[in-house]
Amino acid sequence: MDVKVSSAKKIRGSVRTAGDKSVSHRYAMLAGIAEGTSEFENFSSSADCASTLGCMEALGARVRRNGNHVEVDGVGGTLQAPARELDCGNSGSTMRMLSGVLAAQPFTSVMIGDASLSKRPMRRVIDPLEKMGARIESHDGCAPLTIHGAKLKGMVYEPPVASAQVKSCVLLAGLFADGETSVIEPVRTRDHTELAVKAFGGEVLREGNRVSVRGGQKLRAVKAYVPGDLSSVTFFLCAAALFPGSNLVVDSVLLNPTRSVVLDVLTAMGVKISFISVEEQFGELVGTLKAEGDVFKGGVIRGAESAALIDELPAIAAVAPYSAGGVEIRDAAELRVKESDRISAVVRNLRAMGAEVEELPDGMRIPGGQKLHGARIESFADHRIAMAFAVAALRAEGETTITGAEAIAVSFPEFFEALGKIVE
């Protein structure tokens, strides 16, 4: 699907997104293994989270969905052997995190994905799960994964790369393992799994960058509202950054401190962000914020900031040429093993629009003060690349065509509709 995007003059209005993907994934998995019926409002509309629901249903949970309202009848900890392969679609979150649950089950299961997911590295979850006692077959460290479940033993694991998905995988396996399981992170990552386990009545201990769970815990169903996806909101915040005088209100968005680094970074780059309201729901901070466009200054993103912003970096990079001082992104090699090589994809598309950009092994250097023109942009079957360049097109001269725009359904199928409502 091709979508044409024309230049704009300003961003103004209000927007509310469907539920956060990260929270929705975890709620769906924990609801499936909990006792009782869980109900979720504003559950993510993404294809990725639909994949998670489908897998949980294949494992014995009963799922009922009416739009963004989802009900899940849990199995009380005893999953059933799936009658077919578990199709994770394009969702690395589904495959990596659910593998931790499956590794502890008394049956064999096979997890598959689409062509893109089948190229993404899974050794990072295979290794710790095998150390806990599971046996996993893969295709050179990639999907499909054949997981031979086993009685797992708790352990202390130090992942070589900071990854919320790897941490979550090990912690979810730890809920079924003998003894205590701990993950010591090199850099603290998003803590949605820890908060979700607590929401379902479980116990999680955190000491610095060490997080632990004990096996044999019983989880209980919950009724919860899933706050709006901050990673999706980032695209609209970057759009507001492009135009001084823009005024955007975002309702009921997730403000988890391990995710809200993007707000700090964009504020430092010149976007005026203020909070209208903030409250806590099941340990997650949720609020309404206002973003006003001013002078978009640019800056340097590296180290722990890069790890915390890994999903938001494509959006920031795509608008970086319009900044006053440019943007440099380092320590973000993880971008190369996402749905696409996001470093290469951003660089190629920016150059297609006439931008000067230097590609680096672990990021990119993008000078500011540039003028871009409309072009034919390739999504590379990557939802974040498609959305990032739809935003970049708003300030380009002429019309831009986003090819493969259907990829956005993976995370935010309502994106173009929402964008159209706030563009002037």
Q: How many CB atoms lie within 10 A of CB 119?
A: 14
Query: From edge to edge, which strands make up the β-sheet containing 210-214?
Result: 156-157, 180-184, 210-214, 205-207
Catalytic center residues: 311
Is the domain of 237 the same as that of 347?
yes
Is the domain of 206 the same as that of 272?
no
Closest CA to 30 of 48, 51, 52: 52
Give φ, ψ of 349 to 5 degrees.
-70, -40
Domain extent at residue 373: 3-18+227-422
Is the domain of 163 the same as that of 254?
no
Where b means 16+ CB within 10 Å and e means fewer, 374-388 reads bbebbbbbbbbbbbb
Is the domain of 185 the same as that of 206?
yes
Is the domain of 401 the same as that of 274?
yes
Radius of gyration over every alpha carbon of the chain, rounded to an integer in angstroms? 21
Pick from 225, 260, 277: which residue ends a domain?
A: 225
Is the domain of 219 the same as that of 232?
no
CATH code for the domain of 161: 3.65.10.10
Contacts for 390 with CB less than 8 Å, ≥ 6 apart: 3, 5, 235, 400, 402, 405, 415, 416, 419
Residue 230, sorted as left (phi over 0), alpha (psi -120 to 50) or beta, turns out to be alpha
Closest CA to 318 of 271, 264, 377: 377
Is the domain of 179 the same as that of 248?
no
Hey, what amino acid is at 321? P
Q: What is the pTM of this model?
A: 0.93
CA distance 389 to 321: 12
Read off the pLDDT of residues 359-369 as tens digits, 9 standing for 90 and up: 999 999 999 99
CA distance 51 to 29: 11
Is the domain of 127 the same as that of 139?
yes
pLDDT score of 162: 86
pLDDT score of 108: 98
Q: Which two tokens stand for residue 125?
A: 């979850």
Pick from 197, 225, 253: which residue ends a domain?
A: 225
Is the domain of 196 the same as that of 278?
no
Contact between 49 and 24 under an 8 Å Cβ cutoff? The reply is: yes
Where b means 16+ CB within 10 Å and e means fewer, 155-187 reads bebebeebbbbbbbbbbbbbbbbeeebbbebee
Alpha helices in 121-161 (DSSP H): 123-132
Is the domain of 213 the same as that of 307?
no
pLDDT score of 77: 82
Contact between 172 and 147 under an 8 Å Cβ cutoff? The reply is: no
Burial class (CB in 10 A: 0-12, 13-18, 19+), 290: middle
Read off the pLDDT of residues 390-402 as tens digits, 9 standing for 90 and up: 999 999 999 999 9
Which DSSP category does 77 fall into? Answer: T
pLDDT score of 399: 98
Domain tally, the chain: 2
CA distance 146 to 159: 22
Contact between 318 and 392 under an 8 Å Cβ cutoff? The reply is: yes
Closest CA to 377 of 362, 396, 361, 364: 396
CA distance 45 to 388: 19
pLDDT score of 328: 98
Is the domain of 304 the same as that of 353?
yes
10-residue mean pLDDT series, the chain (424 residues): 96 95 98 98 97 98 97 94 98 98 98 96 97 98 98 97 94 98 94 98 97 97 97 97 97 94 97 97 96 97 93 98 98 95 98 98 98 98 98 98 96 96 96
Query: From edge to edge, which strands make up the β-sheet containing 284-292?
Result: 12-15, 247-254, 284-292, 272-281
Only one residue has tokens 């469907």, namely 18
Is the domain of 14 the same as that of 145?
no
Pick from 194, 225, 256: which residue ends a domain?
A: 225
